[in-house]
Structure 1
Amino acid sequence: MDFMDMYRQPSRLYILVLNIATMLASIALFGLGIFVLANESSVLLESRALSWTLVVLGQLIMLVSILGCAGSLGRYKIVLATYGILLSLLVVFQLIIIIYASVRQDKVDNLMDQAWQNAFVNNQRTLQDLEIRLHCCGFSNMTDRAVPSNCHESPAFGFHTSCQKQLRHSFTRHEDMVIAMVTVVEILQLMALVTTMVLWSKLPHDDDIDAQYRTEHSQRLLRGLREDDQQERTYGSVSETH
Protein backbone atom coordinates (compact mmCIF):
# COMPACT_ATOMS: atom_id res chain seq x y z
CA MET A 1 0.00 0.00 0.00
CA ASP A 2 1.42 3.41 -0.98
CA PHE A 3 0.23 6.98 -1.27
CA MET A 4 -0.56 6.49 -4.96
CA ASP A 5 -3.21 3.94 -3.95
CA MET A 6 -4.71 6.55 -1.65
CA TYR A 7 -4.73 9.00 -4.53
CA ARG A 8 -6.31 6.53 -6.95
CA GLN A 9 -8.80 5.28 -4.35
CA PRO A 10 -9.79 8.19 -2.08
CA SER A 11 -12.28 5.93 -0.32
CA ARG A 12 -9.28 4.40 1.47
CA LEU A 13 -8.41 7.79 2.89
CA TYR A 14 -12.03 8.40 3.95
CA ILE A 15 -12.14 5.07 5.80
CA LEU A 16 -8.81 5.80 7.49
CA VAL A 17 -9.86 9.28 8.65
CA LEU A 18 -13.27 8.08 9.87
CA ASN A 19 -11.68 5.27 11.86
CA ILE A 20 -9.16 7.60 13.44
CA ALA A 21 -12.09 9.79 14.48
CA THR A 22 -13.95 6.83 15.99
CA MET A 23 -10.78 5.76 17.82
CA LEU A 24 -10.62 9.17 19.46
CA ALA A 25 -14.33 8.94 20.30
CA SER A 26 -13.79 5.51 21.85
CA ILE A 27 -11.20 6.99 24.20
CA ALA A 28 -13.71 9.67 25.24
CA LEU A 29 -16.45 7.08 25.85
CA PHE A 30 -14.11 4.82 27.82
CA GLY A 31 -12.85 7.75 29.89
CA LEU A 32 -16.39 8.94 30.68
CA GLY A 33 -17.40 5.47 31.82
CA ILE A 34 -14.35 5.07 34.07
CA PHE A 35 -14.82 8.55 35.55
CA VAL A 36 -18.41 7.84 36.58
CA LEU A 37 -17.59 4.39 37.99
CA ALA A 38 -14.71 5.80 40.03
CA ASN A 39 -16.91 8.51 41.56
CA GLU A 40 -18.83 7.18 44.57
CA SER A 41 -21.42 9.96 44.53
CA SER A 42 -22.32 9.06 40.93
CA VAL A 43 -24.54 6.26 42.22
CA LEU A 44 -27.48 8.66 41.97
CA LEU A 45 -26.19 11.37 39.63
CA GLU A 46 -25.35 9.17 36.65
CA SER A 47 -26.33 5.80 35.27
CA ARG A 48 -23.77 3.21 36.35
CA ALA A 49 -25.28 0.61 34.02
CA LEU A 50 -24.67 2.90 31.06
CA SER A 51 -21.21 3.72 32.40
CA TRP A 52 -20.21 0.05 32.36
CA THR A 53 -21.66 -0.16 28.86
CA LEU A 54 -19.50 2.79 27.80
CA VAL A 55 -16.36 1.08 29.13
CA VAL A 56 -17.07 -2.05 27.10
CA LEU A 57 -18.26 -0.10 24.07
CA GLY A 58 -15.16 2.09 24.07
CA GLN A 59 -12.90 -0.96 23.90
CA LEU A 60 -14.97 -2.57 21.15
CA ILE A 61 -14.94 0.60 19.05
CA MET A 62 -11.17 0.88 19.47
CA LEU A 63 -10.57 -2.70 18.29
CA VAL A 64 -12.91 -2.41 15.30
CA SER A 65 -11.42 0.97 14.35
CA ILE A 66 -7.90 -0.48 14.37
CA LEU A 67 -9.12 -3.22 12.05
CA GLY A 68 -10.72 -0.55 9.85
CA CYS A 69 -7.43 1.33 9.60
CA ALA A 70 -5.68 -1.90 8.63
CA GLY A 71 -8.35 -2.62 6.02
CA SER A 72 -8.07 0.85 4.52
CA LEU A 73 -4.31 0.45 4.11
CA GLY A 74 -4.35 -3.18 2.95
CA ARG A 75 -5.06 -4.87 -0.36
CA TYR A 76 -7.10 -7.88 0.71
CA LYS A 77 -10.89 -7.94 0.56
CA ILE A 78 -11.13 -10.41 3.43
CA VAL A 79 -9.86 -7.76 5.88
CA LEU A 80 -12.39 -5.23 4.65
CA ALA A 81 -15.15 -7.84 4.74
CA THR A 82 -14.31 -8.78 8.34
CA TYR A 83 -14.22 -5.12 9.31
CA GLY A 84 -17.55 -4.46 7.60
CA ILE A 85 -19.27 -7.37 9.39
CA LEU A 86 -17.92 -6.39 12.82
CA LEU A 87 -18.78 -2.76 12.19
CA SER A 88 -22.36 -3.69 11.23
CA LEU A 89 -22.75 -5.64 14.49
CA LEU A 90 -21.30 -2.73 16.44
CA VAL A 91 -23.71 -0.29 14.79
CA VAL A 92 -26.66 -2.49 15.80
CA PHE A 93 -25.30 -2.76 19.37
CA GLN A 94 -24.98 1.01 19.62
CA LEU A 95 -28.50 1.47 18.28
CA ILE A 96 -29.76 -0.80 21.08
CA ILE A 97 -27.88 1.35 23.61
CA ILE A 98 -29.45 4.53 22.24
CA ILE A 99 -32.95 3.04 22.39
CA TYR A 100 -32.34 1.63 25.87
CA ALA A 101 -31.10 4.96 27.22
CA SER A 102 -34.00 6.82 25.63
CA VAL A 103 -36.63 4.46 27.04
CA ARG A 104 -35.07 4.59 30.53
CA GLN A 105 -35.68 8.31 30.74
CA ASP A 106 -39.40 7.62 31.18
CA LYS A 107 -38.55 5.65 34.32
CA VAL A 108 -36.07 8.03 35.92
CA ASP A 109 -38.10 8.68 39.06
CA ASN A 110 -38.48 4.96 39.80
CA LEU A 111 -34.79 4.35 39.14
CA MET A 112 -33.83 7.25 41.40
CA ASP A 113 -36.16 6.07 44.16
CA GLN A 114 -34.66 2.57 44.09
CA ALA A 115 -31.10 3.91 44.06
CA TRP A 116 -31.88 6.29 46.94
CA GLN A 117 -33.39 3.45 48.98
CA ASN A 118 -30.35 1.25 48.33
CA ALA A 119 -27.98 4.02 49.41
CA PHE A 120 -30.16 4.79 52.46
CA VAL A 121 -29.82 1.19 53.61
CA ASN A 122 -26.18 0.57 52.67
CA ASN A 123 -24.35 3.87 52.38
CA GLN A 124 -25.98 6.84 54.09
CA ARG A 125 -22.76 8.86 53.88
CA THR A 126 -23.24 9.02 50.11
CA LEU A 127 -26.72 10.51 50.58
CA GLN A 128 -25.37 13.02 53.06
CA ASP A 129 -22.66 14.10 50.60
CA LEU A 130 -25.28 14.44 47.85
CA GLU A 131 -27.55 16.56 50.04
CA ILE A 132 -24.67 18.92 50.79
CA ARG A 133 -23.64 19.01 47.15
CA LEU A 134 -27.16 19.66 45.84
CA HIS A 135 -28.38 21.77 48.82
CA CYS A 136 -31.40 19.57 49.46
CA CYS A 137 -32.87 17.20 52.02
CA GLY A 138 -34.59 13.86 51.46
CA PHE A 139 -35.79 12.38 48.20
CA SER A 140 -39.39 13.21 47.27
CA ASN A 141 -39.78 15.57 50.26
CA MET A 142 -37.51 16.96 52.96
CA THR A 143 -38.25 14.11 55.40
CA ASP A 144 -38.26 11.25 52.89
CA ARG A 145 -35.26 9.12 53.94
CA ALA A 146 -33.22 12.22 54.70
CA VAL A 147 -29.74 11.90 56.22
CA PRO A 148 -29.85 13.03 58.98
CA SER A 149 -33.57 12.63 59.55
CA ASN A 150 -33.83 16.27 60.66
CA CYS A 151 -31.81 17.47 57.69
CA HIS A 152 -34.06 20.44 56.94
CA GLU A 153 -33.86 21.60 60.58
CA SER A 154 -30.20 20.81 61.23
CA PRO A 155 -27.90 23.86 61.53
CA ALA A 156 -25.30 22.02 59.44
CA PHE A 157 -27.79 21.48 56.60
CA GLY A 158 -30.99 23.51 56.84
CA PHE A 159 -31.96 23.02 53.20
CA HIS A 160 -35.62 23.54 52.36
CA THR A 161 -36.07 21.56 49.16
CA SER A 162 -36.08 17.85 48.29
CA CYS A 163 -33.44 16.23 46.06
CA GLN A 164 -35.63 14.50 43.49
CA LYS A 165 -35.70 17.31 40.94
CA GLN A 166 -31.94 17.92 41.00
CA LEU A 167 -31.22 14.20 40.79
CA ARG A 168 -33.57 13.78 37.84
CA HIS A 169 -31.90 16.67 36.03
CA SER A 170 -28.38 15.30 36.62
CA PHE A 171 -29.35 11.76 35.63
CA THR A 172 -31.12 12.75 32.40
CA ARG A 173 -28.30 15.15 31.49
CA HIS A 174 -25.80 12.30 31.80
CA GLU A 175 -27.90 9.99 29.67
CA ASP A 176 -28.50 12.73 27.08
CA MET A 177 -24.75 13.22 26.81
CA VAL A 178 -24.24 9.47 26.38
CA ILE A 179 -26.94 9.29 23.71
CA ALA A 180 -25.41 12.26 21.86
CA MET A 181 -21.88 10.81 21.93
CA VAL A 182 -22.96 7.35 20.82
CA THR A 183 -25.14 8.86 18.07
CA VAL A 184 -22.18 10.82 16.69
CA VAL A 185 -20.04 7.67 16.67
CA GLU A 186 -22.90 5.79 15.02
CA ILE A 187 -23.07 8.36 12.19
CA LEU A 188 -19.30 8.19 11.62
CA GLN A 189 -19.43 4.41 11.55
CA LEU A 190 -22.33 4.35 9.09
CA MET A 191 -20.33 6.62 6.79
CA ALA A 192 -17.32 4.32 7.15
CA LEU A 193 -19.50 1.27 6.49
CA VAL A 194 -20.91 2.68 3.26
CA THR A 195 -17.44 3.71 2.08
CA THR A 196 -16.09 0.27 2.97
CA MET A 197 -18.78 -1.41 0.86
CA VAL A 198 -17.87 0.83 -2.08
CA LEU A 199 -14.15 0.10 -1.73
CA TRP A 200 -14.76 -3.63 -1.28
CA SER A 201 -16.76 -3.77 -4.51
CA LYS A 202 -13.89 -2.16 -6.43
CA LEU A 203 -11.05 -4.29 -5.10
CA PRO A 204 -9.98 -7.42 -7.02
CA HIS A 205 -10.53 -10.82 -5.45
CA ASP A 206 -7.86 -11.97 -3.01
CA ASP A 207 -6.94 -14.91 -5.27
CA ASP A 208 -6.44 -12.50 -8.17
CA ILE A 209 -4.15 -10.38 -6.01
CA ASP A 210 -2.09 -13.43 -5.06
CA ALA A 211 -1.88 -14.49 -8.70
CA GLN A 212 -0.80 -10.98 -9.68
CA TYR A 213 1.90 -10.99 -7.00
CA ARG A 214 3.18 -14.38 -8.18
CA THR A 215 3.25 -13.18 -11.77
CA GLU A 216 5.11 -10.00 -10.85
CA HIS A 217 7.56 -12.00 -8.75
CA SER A 218 8.18 -14.45 -11.59
CA GLN A 219 8.70 -11.60 -14.02
CA ARG A 220 11.20 -9.90 -11.71
CA LEU A 221 13.00 -13.20 -11.18
CA LEU A 222 13.16 -13.86 -14.93
CA ARG A 223 14.34 -10.32 -15.56
CA GLY A 224 17.08 -10.78 -12.96
CA LEU A 225 18.22 -14.05 -14.55
CA ARG A 226 18.39 -12.41 -17.97
CA GLU A 227 20.42 -9.52 -16.60
CA ASP A 228 22.82 -11.93 -14.89
CA ASP A 229 23.16 -13.92 -18.10
CA GLN A 230 23.80 -10.75 -20.08
CA GLN A 231 26.45 -9.65 -17.59
CA GLU A 232 28.16 -13.04 -17.81
CA ARG A 233 28.21 -12.86 -21.60
CA THR A 234 29.59 -9.34 -21.53
CA TYR A 235 32.25 -10.35 -19.02
CA GLY A 236 33.13 -13.39 -21.14
CA SER A 237 33.50 -11.30 -24.29
CA VAL A 238 35.79 -8.87 -22.51
CA SER A 239 37.89 -11.73 -21.18
CA GLU A 240 38.28 -13.29 -24.66
CA THR A 241 39.32 -9.90 -26.08
CA HIS A 242 42.10 -9.58 -23.57
Structure 2
Amino acid sequence: MLTSLLLAAGCSGKVDPAGSGGGDPGGGGSSAETGGGGGELPVRCLLPADPGRCDAAFPKYRYDPAAGACREFTYGGCEGNENRFDSLAACEEACRGELPDIGVCNAPSDCILVSRGCCGACDTANAENFRAINRAGTRLNEIIQGCGGVACGACPEVTEAERTTQYFTATCEAGRCVVLDVRESPLTECTVDSDCALRDGLGCCEGCDGTGIVALNQSAELDALVCPAGMGACPPCAPVFPDGMTAVCSSGRCQPQMPATP
Protein backbone atom coordinates (compact mmCIF):
# COMPACT_ATOMS: atom_id res chain seq x y z
CA MET A 1 0.00 0.00 0.00
CA LEU A 2 2.71 2.48 0.99
CA THR A 3 4.57 2.08 -2.27
CA SER A 4 1.46 2.65 -4.40
CA LEU A 5 0.77 6.31 -3.61
CA LEU A 6 0.89 7.38 -7.24
CA LEU A 7 -0.84 10.48 -8.49
CA ALA A 8 -3.78 9.85 -10.80
CA ALA A 9 -4.70 12.44 -13.46
CA GLY A 10 -7.46 12.72 -16.07
CA CYS A 11 -6.89 12.98 -19.82
CA SER A 12 -9.74 15.12 -21.21
CA GLY A 13 -8.84 18.53 -22.55
CA LYS A 14 -12.42 19.86 -22.55
CA VAL A 15 -14.47 20.98 -19.60
CA ASP A 16 -16.36 18.02 -18.14
CA PRO A 17 -18.40 18.63 -14.96
CA ALA A 18 -18.38 14.90 -14.20
CA GLY A 19 -14.61 14.78 -14.45
CA SER A 20 -12.50 12.89 -16.95
CA GLY A 21 -12.70 9.12 -16.89
CA GLY A 22 -16.21 8.94 -15.41
CA GLY A 23 -17.91 5.60 -14.86
CA ASP A 24 -18.50 5.71 -11.11
CA PRO A 25 -20.67 7.82 -8.78
CA GLY A 26 -17.66 9.93 -7.85
CA GLY A 27 -16.94 10.96 -11.41
CA GLY A 28 -13.22 10.67 -10.80
CA GLY A 29 -11.92 7.93 -13.08
CA SER A 30 -11.37 4.24 -12.41
CA SER A 31 -13.99 2.55 -10.27
CA ALA A 32 -11.60 -0.18 -9.13
CA GLU A 33 -10.80 1.57 -5.85
CA THR A 34 -14.07 3.18 -4.85
CA GLY A 35 -15.08 0.71 -2.16
CA GLY A 36 -13.49 1.64 1.16
CA GLY A 37 -15.65 -0.55 3.35
CA GLY A 38 -12.96 -1.31 5.98
CA GLY A 39 -9.25 -2.02 6.00
CA GLU A 40 -6.96 0.66 4.62
CA LEU A 41 -8.19 3.73 2.78
CA PRO A 42 -8.13 3.38 -1.02
CA VAL A 43 -5.21 5.11 -2.70
CA ARG A 44 -7.49 7.62 -4.48
CA CYS A 45 -8.63 9.01 -1.11
CA LEU A 46 -5.05 9.89 -0.17
CA LEU A 47 -4.37 12.08 -3.19
CA PRO A 48 -4.13 15.85 -2.67
CA ALA A 49 -6.95 18.18 -3.72
CA ASP A 50 -6.51 18.99 -7.42
CA PRO A 51 -8.89 21.43 -9.15
CA GLY A 52 -7.37 20.70 -12.58
CA ARG A 53 -6.15 23.26 -15.05
CA CYS A 54 -9.48 24.48 -16.44
CA ASP A 55 -11.34 27.55 -15.21
CA ALA A 56 -14.90 26.31 -14.66
CA ALA A 57 -16.31 26.05 -11.14
CA PHE A 58 -18.09 22.81 -10.29
CA PRO A 59 -18.74 21.91 -6.64
CA LYS A 60 -17.20 18.53 -5.86
CA TYR A 61 -16.07 16.62 -2.81
CA ARG A 62 -12.70 15.14 -1.92
CA TYR A 63 -11.36 13.22 1.05
CA ASP A 64 -9.03 15.16 3.35
CA PRO A 65 -6.66 12.66 5.05
CA ALA A 66 -5.45 15.29 7.52
CA ALA A 67 -9.01 15.93 8.75
CA GLY A 68 -10.25 12.36 8.26
CA ALA A 69 -13.37 13.67 6.51
CA CYS A 70 -14.77 14.59 3.09
CA ARG A 71 -14.62 18.26 2.17
CA GLU A 72 -16.22 20.31 -0.59
CA PHE A 73 -13.89 21.92 -3.14
CA THR A 74 -14.17 23.63 -6.51
CA TYR A 75 -13.27 21.60 -9.57
CA GLY A 76 -12.22 23.39 -12.75
CA GLY A 77 -13.69 20.84 -15.13
CA CYS A 78 -10.74 18.96 -16.60
CA GLU A 79 -7.82 16.84 -15.49
CA GLY A 80 -7.28 16.71 -11.72
CA ASN A 81 -7.10 13.34 -9.98
CA GLU A 82 -9.35 10.56 -8.67
CA ASN A 83 -9.91 12.10 -5.25
CA ARG A 84 -13.01 13.82 -6.58
CA PHE A 85 -16.67 12.91 -6.01
CA ASP A 86 -20.01 14.30 -7.15
CA SER A 87 -21.58 14.18 -3.69
CA LEU A 88 -20.71 14.00 -0.03
CA ALA A 89 -22.38 10.60 0.16
CA ALA A 90 -20.28 9.23 -2.72
CA CYS A 91 -17.09 10.47 -1.06
CA GLU A 92 -17.99 8.98 2.32
CA GLU A 93 -18.95 5.67 0.73
CA ALA A 94 -15.67 5.42 -1.17
CA CYS A 95 -13.31 6.63 1.53
CA ARG A 96 -13.99 4.36 4.46
CA GLY A 97 -11.06 2.72 6.18
CA GLU A 98 -7.91 3.48 8.10
CA LEU A 99 -4.82 5.37 7.03
CA PRO A 100 -1.86 3.08 6.27
CA ASP A 101 0.53 2.75 9.19
CA ILE A 102 3.64 4.61 8.05
CA GLY A 103 5.56 3.74 11.20
CA VAL A 104 6.04 0.02 10.56
CA CYS A 105 9.43 -1.36 9.52
CA ASN A 106 11.41 -4.53 9.01
CA ALA A 107 14.92 -3.09 9.01
CA PRO A 108 16.66 0.16 10.02
CA SER A 109 17.05 1.14 6.37
CA ASP A 110 13.22 1.25 6.06
CA CYS A 111 13.12 4.33 8.29
CA ILE A 112 13.80 8.00 7.70
CA LEU A 113 13.67 11.07 9.90
CA VAL A 114 11.14 13.79 9.05
CA SER A 115 10.20 17.07 10.68
CA ARG A 116 7.00 17.25 12.69
CA GLY A 117 6.31 20.65 11.19
CA CYS A 118 5.93 21.84 7.63
CA CYS A 119 9.46 23.24 7.61
CA GLY A 120 12.62 21.39 8.51
CA ALA A 121 13.81 21.52 12.10
CA CYS A 122 16.39 24.22 12.78
CA ASP A 123 19.24 24.05 15.24
CA THR A 124 19.05 23.81 18.12
CA ALA A 125 16.51 20.97 17.83
CA ASN A 126 15.47 18.15 20.13
CA ALA A 127 13.83 14.77 19.61
CA GLU A 128 10.34 16.25 19.80
CA ASN A 129 11.01 18.15 16.55
CA PHE A 130 11.26 14.87 14.60
CA ARG A 131 9.32 11.74 13.86
CA ALA A 132 10.52 8.51 12.26
CA ILE A 133 8.49 6.97 9.42
CA ASN A 134 8.82 4.26 6.81
CA ARG A 135 10.47 5.89 3.80
CA ALA A 136 7.72 4.44 1.56
CA GLY A 137 5.23 6.63 3.44
CA THR A 138 6.99 9.92 2.68
CA ARG A 139 4.35 11.14 0.23
CA LEU A 140 1.47 10.10 2.50
CA ASN A 141 3.10 11.94 5.39
CA GLU A 142 3.24 15.09 3.26
CA ILE A 143 -0.44 14.73 2.39
CA ILE A 144 -1.43 14.24 6.03
CA GLN A 145 0.59 17.25 7.14
CA GLY A 146 -1.08 19.39 4.49
CA CYS A 147 1.88 21.69 4.02
CA GLY A 148 1.50 22.37 0.32
CA GLY A 149 2.37 25.97 -0.50
CA VAL A 150 3.95 26.72 2.89
CA ALA A 151 6.95 29.02 2.45
CA CYS A 152 9.77 28.16 4.83
CA GLY A 153 12.30 30.76 5.85
CA ALA A 154 15.99 30.17 6.37
CA CYS A 155 17.16 28.76 9.68
CA PRO A 156 19.14 31.08 11.97
CA GLU A 157 22.90 30.73 11.71
CA VAL A 158 24.48 28.79 14.56
CA THR A 159 28.02 27.77 15.39
CA GLU A 160 29.17 24.19 15.02
CA ALA A 161 29.21 23.87 18.81
CA GLU A 162 25.53 24.89 18.95
CA ARG A 163 24.28 22.37 16.35
CA THR A 164 22.12 19.51 17.57
CA THR A 165 20.23 18.11 14.55
CA GLN A 166 23.17 15.88 13.63
CA TYR A 167 22.60 13.78 16.75
CA PHE A 168 19.24 12.43 15.59
CA THR A 169 18.56 9.59 13.17
CA ALA A 170 15.83 7.05 12.50
CA THR A 171 16.08 3.34 13.15
CA CYS A 172 13.81 0.29 13.46
CA GLU A 173 13.07 -1.15 16.89
CA ALA A 174 10.56 -3.97 17.46
CA GLY A 175 8.97 -3.37 14.06
CA ARG A 176 8.50 0.39 14.55
CA CYS A 177 10.46 3.34 13.18
CA VAL A 178 11.78 5.38 16.10
CA VAL A 179 13.80 8.56 16.59
CA LEU A 180 17.25 7.81 17.98
CA ASP A 181 19.32 10.39 19.86
CA VAL A 182 22.82 8.95 19.70
CA ARG A 183 23.82 10.95 22.76
CA GLU A 184 21.59 8.61 24.77
CA SER A 185 22.61 5.37 23.04
CA PRO A 186 25.49 2.90 23.38
CA LEU A 187 27.01 4.50 20.27
CA THR A 188 28.44 7.29 22.41
CA GLU A 189 29.35 5.41 25.59
CA CYS A 190 32.98 5.71 26.68
CA THR A 191 35.39 5.53 29.60
CA VAL A 192 38.41 7.44 28.25
CA ASP A 193 39.05 9.95 25.45
CA SER A 194 40.75 7.32 23.31
CA ASP A 195 37.43 5.45 23.04
CA CYS A 196 36.03 8.29 20.96
CA ALA A 197 36.37 9.47 17.37
CA LEU A 198 34.87 12.32 15.36
CA ARG A 199 32.48 11.60 12.48
CA ASP A 200 30.84 13.92 9.95
CA GLY A 201 27.14 13.20 10.55
CA LEU A 202 25.16 9.99 11.06
CA GLY A 203 24.55 9.11 7.42
CA CYS A 204 25.38 5.66 6.16
CA CYS A 205 28.20 7.31 4.23
CA GLU A 206 30.17 9.86 6.20
CA GLY A 207 29.82 13.46 5.08
CA CYS A 208 32.62 15.67 3.84
CA ASP A 209 31.41 19.20 4.51
CA GLY A 210 32.75 19.66 8.03
CA THR A 211 29.35 20.47 9.59
CA GLY A 212 27.14 18.41 11.85
CA ILE A 213 30.05 16.67 13.55
CA VAL A 214 29.35 13.96 16.12
CA ALA A 215 31.62 11.97 18.41
CA LEU A 216 31.06 8.22 18.62
CA ASN A 217 32.70 5.29 20.33
CA GLN A 218 35.29 3.92 17.90
CA SER A 219 33.67 0.49 18.23
CA ALA A 220 30.16 1.79 17.53
CA GLU A 221 28.29 -0.25 14.91
CA LEU A 222 26.48 2.63 13.24
CA ASP A 223 26.12 0.75 9.95
CA ALA A 224 23.65 -1.71 11.47
CA LEU A 225 21.39 1.17 12.48
CA VAL A 226 21.36 3.38 9.39
CA CYS A 227 22.61 1.46 6.35
CA PRO A 228 20.48 -0.56 3.92
CA ALA A 229 21.19 -4.26 3.62
CA GLY A 230 23.79 -4.95 0.95
CA MET A 231 25.03 -1.37 0.95
CA GLY A 232 28.11 -1.10 -1.25
CA ALA A 233 31.19 0.99 -0.74
CA CYS A 234 30.71 4.68 0.00
CA PRO A 235 32.19 7.32 -2.32
CA PRO A 236 35.71 8.40 -1.38
CA CYS A 237 35.55 11.17 1.19
CA ALA A 238 38.03 12.83 3.50
CA PRO A 239 36.04 14.47 6.32
CA VAL A 240 37.19 17.95 7.23
CA PHE A 241 36.68 18.78 10.87
CA PRO A 242 36.72 22.29 12.37
CA ASP A 243 40.20 23.40 13.38
CA GLY A 244 41.10 22.19 16.83
CA MET A 245 38.02 20.02 17.34
CA THR A 246 38.66 16.76 19.17
CA ALA A 247 36.60 13.86 20.49
CA VAL A 248 36.59 13.59 24.27
CA CYS A 249 34.91 11.38 26.86
CA SER A 250 32.88 13.48 29.28
CA SER A 251 30.57 11.99 31.92
CA GLY A 252 30.70 8.65 30.14
CA ARG A 253 29.72 10.03 26.71
CA CYS A 254 31.77 10.86 23.64
CA GLN A 255 31.44 14.52 22.72
CA PRO A 256 33.03 16.84 20.16
CA GLN A 257 35.03 19.55 21.86
CA MET A 258 36.42 22.80 20.53
CA PRO A 259 39.53 24.33 22.09
CA ALA A 260 38.91 26.92 24.76
CA THR A 261 38.94 30.46 23.47
CA PRO A 262 41.63 32.67 25.00
- Coarse TM-score class (shorter-chain normalised): under 0.3
Which structure has more relative contact order (CA 8 Å, sep 6+)? It is: 1
TM-score (norm 2): 0.21
Higher strand share: 2
Q: Per residue, is there more helix in 1 or in 2?
A: 1
